[in-house]
Amino acid sequence: MLKGKKIGFIGGGNMAEAIVKGLLAGGVATHDITLAEPVAQRRDYLLASYGVTAVDDNGSALQAADIVILAVKPQVCMTALRSLPGDACSGKLFISIMAGVTTQAIENALAKGVRVIRVMPNTPALVLQAASAIAPGTSATAGDLSLALEIFNLLGTACTVEEKLLDAVTGLSGSGPAYVFTFIEALSDAGVKNGLPRDKATLLAAQTVLGSAKMVLDTAEHTGVLRDRVTSPGGTTIAGLHALEQAAFRGAIMNAVDMATKRSEELGKS
């Protein structure tokens, strides 16, 4: 249970802010949240906007927390982890959202037997609509996993996966918003080409994606069944689908996820 737990953040950037919003919306008290953030202006902003505690040293945020969310860029990950006093790490749960940083790397950098969970959220976290995948490290317990699910379900929707699948998650939902933005833009362009004003074309395109996604999630029907229901014989939709098949639409999407997954694997190795 998240209620009453003290939550500390190492790094108070965009993703940390999104998580704070989710926590507050989920009923976590402002006095249970402490962020460590090096930039004074950013600390002032976090305090003024959310009423949470913002400090300039990572050790204080660590000391104050039961759950420590690691939310710095991967490039400064080791500097941030080394700033955490090893003796203060025991008994705490570390949740990392740092892309490409393995639970093993975090376990090795912190105290022995430390409980670590790795999460790959995506950018719609900023509007509390993230798709997040959660993988446990070697010492994380079932209770830790439940806590992480509770936190990231406040930010959208979360599921658990094995850590080795996080590269595929990065290729699909991590990079996915960029594919969807491109799809919405293409729909909008096509609307404009066929005479619609740009603002209305983009509104209709974005709401079509949102509404269709909601149907998939709410009905739990197979996407093929949902598609068949809007595809009448000899109608407009089958004509449009034919054009998509001719352009190898599905193959293009699968290639995009494949390429992004491979790139995530490469970046992880380097």
Ligand X SMILES: NC(=O)c1ccc[n+]([C@@H]2O[C@H](COP(=O)([O-])OP(=O)(O)OC[C@H]3O[C@@H](n4cnc5c(N)ncnc54)[C@H](OP(=O)(O)O)[C@@H]3O)[C@@H](O)[C@H]2O)c1
Residues that bind ligand X (CB under 6 A): 10-16, 36-39, 42, 58, 71-74, 76, 79-80, 83, 97-99, 120-123, 174
**Shortest spacing between CB 152 and ligand X, in angstroms:** 11
Helix, strand and coil percent figures for the chain, each rounded to 5: 60, 15, 25
**Shortest spacing between CB 56 and ligand X, in angstroms:** 9
For residues 15 and 93, which CB has a smaller minimum distance to ligand X in the complex? 15
For residues 70 and 201, which CB has a smaller minimum distance to ligand X in the complex? 70
**Shortest spacing between CB 136 and ligand X, in angstroms:** 17
**Shortest spacing between CB 75 and ligand X, in angstroms:** 8
**Shortest spacing between CB 153 and ligand X, in angstroms:** 16
Q: Which residues pair with 120 in a beta bridge?
A: 133
**Shortest spacing between CB 87 and ligand X, in angstroms:** 19
Could you say which DSSP state residue 234 is in?
T
Residue nearest ligand X (C-beta atom)? 13
Cβ–Cβ contacts within 10 Å for residue 158, how many?
20
User: What gap in Å lies between CA 15 and CA 21, rounded to an integer?
Assistant: 10
Cβ–Cβ contacts within 10 Å for residue 224, how many?
8
Are the C-beta atoms of 118 and 94 separated by less than 8 Å? no
Q: Is 3 helix (H, G, I), strand (E, B) or coil?
A: coil
For residues 45 and 183, which CB has a smaller minimum distance to ligand X in the complex? 45
Q: How many residues does the chain have?
A: 270
For residues 60 and 139, which CB has a smaller minimum distance to ligand X in the complex? 60
For residues 165 and 204, which CB has a smaller minimum distance to ligand X in the complex? 165
For residues 26 and 38, which CB has a smaller minimum distance to ligand X in the complex? 38
User: What gap in Å lies between CA 96 and CA 118, rounded to an integer?
Assistant: 5
Token pair in block for residue 225: 């069944």
Helical segments of 51-157, H only: 58-63, 77-82, 103-109, 142-153
